[in-house]
Amino acid sequence: MDKQAYIPKVIEWARRKGFDQIQANMEGFEPPIAYGRQSDDERFIPDVTAKLLSEKSYFEVVLKTDNIDRVISKLRLLSMVAGQKGGRLFLMAPSGHLNFAKELLLKYSINGEIVRIL
């Protein structure tokens, strides 16, 4: 299944948890701000961002992939930005992708929280 198909589930989860000011990288929502790496000008757009009180958090759908370097770069960057904004990084993992998400956090020392989505 395509990553985009899970974004509505992420938005629904964030709303249930009390997040507001939701931005999403999908049609019908204001897109989140893109962040770039200075080393090569590659840009990353979070799947979803939202605020809880005044803390901005980032939500990224994590699926198994062969392009692991890009995923790691994006997660590290979003983890750093979330920390600077007082928020958190949530790795939203569908069934079958949870172990992959856990491995990313542990192996690459990414500061984030894994949430299982259906």
User: Which residues make Cβ contacts (< 8 Å) with residue 63, sequence separation at least 6?
Assistant: 3, 93, 94, 97, 100
pLDDT at 1: 67
Q: Looking at residues 107-117, what average pLDDT do you find?
A: 95
pLDDT at 33: 94
Q: How confident is the model at residue 14 (pLDDT cuts 50, 70, 90)?
A: very high
Going by C-alpha positions, the residue among 61, 71, 64, 69 that lies closest to residue 97 is 64
Q: Looking at residues 82-87, what average pLDDT do you find?
A: 92
| 17-34 residue pLDDT tens | 999 999 999 999 999 999
pTM above 0.85, yes or no: yes
